[in-house]
Structure 1
Amino acid sequence: MKSYIAALVVFFFIWCYIGKAAKGERLGASFIFGDSIVDAGNNNYLPSLSKANIPPNGIDFKASGGNPTGRYTNGRTICDIVGEELGVPNYAVPFLAPNSTGKAILYGVNYASGAGGILNASGRIFVNRLGLDIQVDYFNITRKQIDSLLGPSQARDFLMKTSIFSVTIGANDFLNNYLLPVVSIGSRITQSPDAFINDMITRFSGQLIRLYQLDARKIVIANVGPIGCIPYQKTLYQSNEDECVELPNKLALHYNAKLKDLLTELNENLPGATFVLANVYDLVSDIIINYENYGFTTSGKACCGNGGRYAGIIPCGPTSSLCSDHSSHVFWDPYHPSEATNLIIAKKLLDGDTKIISPMNLRQLRDL
């Protein structure tokens, strides 16, 4: 009798859930892939050197009472904020977390991993991380669970019509692979930047097609931001406050141009798919250049970190120097934006024009 009542409760929840989604009241679910920019805690469950489950990370994250969750920022990630704005009542649960089961996955799942990249070799100096190949493998597991919860037909509608997939990846393929000091010198001698980027695009194309084959239809892809402007790079190369390191930004722009062509090709060749390009490079560049107009006091120095002029060498941790006003810095730590920056980025992606996100913004994609 108890199992019968439990089954009725689950059925009622699913029926209401699908009914609301069908009426367009909110997003069906948010499935998040990527690196540390959007990791919500997967690396907590890996024996990895890349972790953010130590204070003061998460100090402004209200949902945890200011305790670290594994997010590489002081508060919410871009995907957390977007999910809130699009009507998802709960944050997407990290795939590796013990509670990523049952009806919780119908709000979305986060597969992102600090140090993860498009290429499997990227981030290897951090020992363990989830590259995008593994993240898509894990979504395949979730896909089967959704079939079990909703039934195959309803599951397809849920994924294809009401859910959004986002992929924020590529920076580690440069910073923690091709551009890695000392370790990468050999590969740079044997492989040109163009060849390396072509490898990234070829692999990424296959990964996105796999997601499509697993019924992803509304897919947002972020290009690589101005990685030559992060405090780590500025400290490493002793740049001036208003200067960025040229080579990383050139590589990012080269990759971004090829990524734009790839998404155009996929939109033309995959029936029913809508691949949306988030132009993070130009958006973040504008914030960095015009930081005072956005209410920041610095775009060069990390709020939390140690080492050099920009606190850009040692990651954020209990012994780090910490700025008094966390919303005054574009960057939270040597690599990652602050919540204040994430808020600006999220709002632009939600409601921005085609210079920032094309062919449509995230609210338009939700309602498509």
Structure 2
Amino acid sequence: MEALAWFVVVLLMINRRGEASSPSSVAVEAMFVFGDSLSDPGNNNDLVTLSKGNYLPHGIDFPGGATGRFCNGLIGPDHLGNLLGLGLIPAFQNPNTQGSNILNGVNYASSAAGIFNESLAILGERWTFDQQIEQFATKTLPELKSQALRSKEGSKDLTLDEFLGNSLFYSNIGSNDLINYIVANYKYPDLSAYIDLAMTQHRRQLMELHQLGGRKFLIFGLAPIGCLPIAILLFNKNATADCAEQLNQITLRWNAKLTELVQQLNHDLEGAYFLYFDVYNAFLRVTNNPSRYGFKQVHVACCGAGLLNSEFLCLTPKAPVCLNRSEYVFWDSFHATEAMYGVLIRQGFYGTLQDTYPKNVQQLFQPKCREASLSSSGGAEAMFVFGDSLSDPGNNNALMMGYG
């Protein structure tokens, strides 16, 4: 009997976002966090500053209560630490952040900090980005050298270089520098020159972290500053629900230069990988379709009062607080809710950070054999198989035939 001509098409989807994978499959040693109030877990608590959130209602949904986080609950590094299997990364200024407690990483972020040391100095004391790098170099590195470093995967001994090389360096900073420009542009009349100067400074800082041992970096772009409730209140007449577009255009110019910087670093520093997280568009994906993510309030702060709950800020324990906090994008007039941070961080962990940087955080720390299977576009979308019995997964089961 003549063989029956046949073909089979088997669609094998490889989930580009990796959402079916368990975070436990990610092999990362530690996470070192640098930034401002978007990432501060309480490093400003003992400083003389207006920029600290160690009082209720901040932390109203956090297991430890008010810790210094400007949020109702978990912030970005908390969510990412959990996804990486590291848990909450301790604040550098916490007296207990020493010895074996630093083996999962350290968080140096400080509210009101900037790339420039002078940014938002009017608010009082804070740990600038340069000071945060110094803390890592002069306190954390010597302590790590004194520790017995063991791999979390396989329990083998690690050198300090190996430990740092497979750790994540998390950098989310720049908002305060741009805010400083907006409120004091009489001092910096040329926006392009100001941004160029900021990028020159930031390149030096990131290269310094690289020289100290950092090899895998997550660099956050800025979210649309014009969509902050306080920005809408101050820059849009009658506090309409629309974002202040003039501020968003400034943010886009900043992000374009930051993208160029990341591209340069990836080109210049062999053996290092800098992920640029396009938070701007990740944020707009949520706010342009809030119901898909469970949100109902996009431009109104949860904590505060008046128009957009932003005329009276969330600055005292008596500040009014919404009940359905998971339905709000913004916790206060400047910062996101725990729910919004969670959505954004999951996009960074599982999703596409930016088209030109196909890896996400999960892929960055997967075994090399897994990385080798991913195409330059972030993973194959499908595979179509044609052939005979050498490839047949069972398509002939219902056919009457002799052989294939």
What residue number does 1:11 align with? none
What residue number does 1:224 align with? 222
1:26-73 CA-partner distances (Å, limit 9, x unpaired): 4211100001011111011211110110101111112x1xx1011110
Relative to structure 1, the CA distance from residue 319 to residue 167 in structure 2 (aligned partners, 3 Å threshold; closer, same or farther) is same
**Given the alignment, which residue of 150, 173, 193 partners 2:177?**
173
- Name the CA distance, whole Å, in 2 between partners of 1:233 and 1:108: 34
- Is 2:305 the counterpart of 1:306? yes
Contact 1:235–1:313 under 8 Å retained in 2? no
SS in structure 1 of the partner of residue 44 of structure 2 = helix
SS in structure 2 of the partner of residue 187 of structure 1 = coil
Relative to structure 1, the CA distance from residue 105 to residue 356 in structure 2 (aligned partners, 3 Å threshold; closer, same or farther) is farther
**Given the alignment, which residue of 116, 121, 126 partners 2:123?**
126
What residue number does 1:52 align with? 53
Question: Partner amino acid for 1:85?
Answer: L
SS in structure 2 of the partner of residue 43 of structure 1 = coil
Question: Partner amino acid for 2:129?
Answer: L
Contact 1:41–1:53 under 8 Å retained in 2? yes
What residue number does 1:42 align with? 43
- Name the CA distance, whole Å, in 2 between partners of 1:59 and 1:287: 24
- Is 2:260 the counterpart of 1:261? yes
- Name the CA distance, whole Å, in 1 between partners of 2:120 and 2:148: 37
Relative to structure 1, the CA distance from residue 94 to residue 29 in structure 2 (aligned partners, 3 Å threshold; closer, same or farther) is same
Relative to structure 1, the CA distance from residue 86 to residue 232 in structure 2 (aligned partners, 3 Å threshold; closer, same or farther) is same
- Name the CA distance, whole Å, in 1 between partners of 2:321 and 2:359: 38
Map 1:1-368 → 2, pairs under 5 A? 26-62=27-63, 64=64, 67-88=65-86, 90-141=87-138, 142-150=140-148, 154-160=159-165, 162-175=166-179, 177-180=180-183, 184-188=184-188, 191-239=189-237, 240-311=239-310, 313-355=312-354, 358-367=357-366
CA positional deviation for 1:265 = 0.7
SS in structure 2 of the partner of residue 321 of structure 1 = coil
SS in structure 1 of the partner of residue 146 of structure 2 = helix
Relative to structure 1, the CA distance from residue 298 to residue 165 in structure 2 (aligned partners, 3 Å threshold; closer, same or farther) is same
Gaps of 5+ in 1: 1-22
- Which structure 1 residue ranges, 4+ long, deviate > 6 Å from structure 2? none
1:146-205 CA-partner distances (Å, limit 9, x unpaired): 112248971111001x21011001110111x1112xxx14314xx300011011100000
Contact 1:277–1:358 under 8 Å retained in 2? yes
Question: Partner amino acid for 1:266?
Answer: L
- Name the CA distance, whole Å, in 2 between partners of 1:187 and 1:325: 42
CA positional deviation for 1:91 = 1.4
Percent identity at matched positions? Answer: 36
CA positional deviation for 1:307 = 4.1
Higher helix content, 1 or 2: 1
Relative to structure 1, the CA distance from residue 341 to residue 157 in structure 2 (aligned partners, 3 Å threshold; closer, same or farther) is same
CA positional deviation for 1:311 = 2.3
Choose between structure 1 and 2 for higher RCO, CA contacts under 8 A separated by at least 6 residues. Answer: 2
- Name the CA distance, whole Å, in 2 between partners of 1:147 and 1:313: 48
CA positional deviation for 1:98 = 0.6
- Name the CA distance, whole Å, in 2 between partners of 1:354 and 1:56: 32
CA positional deviation for 1:144 = 1.8
1:110-165 CA-partner distances (Å, limit 9, x unpaired): 000111111111111111111111111111021121112248971111001x2101
Contact 1:302–1:312 under 8 Å retained in 2? no
CA positional deviation for 1:251 = 1.3
1:56-96 CA-partner distances (Å, limit 9, x unpaired): 1111112x1xx1011110111111111111111x3111111
Question: Partner amino acid for 2:288?
Answer: I
SS in structure 1 of the partner of residue 45 of structure 2 = helix
TM-score, normalised to structure 2's length? 0.79
Task: Name the stretch that deviates more: 122-131 or 206-215.
Answer: 122-131
- Name the CA distance, whole Å, in 1 between partners of 2:262 and 2:191: 21
Q: Choose 1 or 2 for highest CA Rg.
A: 2
What residue number does 1:14 align with? none
- Name the CA distance, whole Å, in 1 between partners of 2:33 and 2:360: 17
- Name the CA distance, whole Å, in 1 between partners of 2:27 and 2:219: 21
- Name the CA distance, whole Å, in 2 between partners of 1:55 and 1:106: 30
Question: Partner amino acid for 1:157?
Answer: E
- Name the CA distance, whole Å, in 1 between partners of 2:302 and 2:26: 38
Task: Name the stretch that deviates more: 307-316 or 332-341.
Answer: 307-316
Task: Name the stretch that deviates more: 67-76 or 317-326.
Answer: 317-326
Gaps of 5+ in 2: 1-23, 150-156, 368-404
- Number of equivalent positions: 335
SS in structure 2 of the partner of residue 31 of structure 1 = strand
- Name the CA distance, whole Å, in 1 between partners of 2:168 and 2:309: 36
- Name the CA distance, whole Å, in 2 between partners of 1:241 and 1:86: 39
- Name the CA distance, whole Å, in 2 between partners of 1:324 and 1:351: 30
Relative to structure 1, the CA distance from residue 241 to residue 357 in structure 2 (aligned partners, 3 Å threshold; closer, same or farther) is farther
What residue number does 2:389 align with? none
CA-based RMSD of the aligned residues comes to 1.9
Relative to structure 1, the CA distance from residue 43 to residue 357 in structure 2 (aligned partners, 3 Å threshold; closer, same or farther) is farther
Contact 1:348–1:356 under 8 Å retained in 2? no
SS in structure 2 of the partner of residue 286 of structure 1 = helix
1:326-347 CA-partner distances (Å, limit 9, x unpaired): 1111000000000110110111
Task: Name the stretch that deviates more: 350-359 or 256-265.
Answer: 350-359
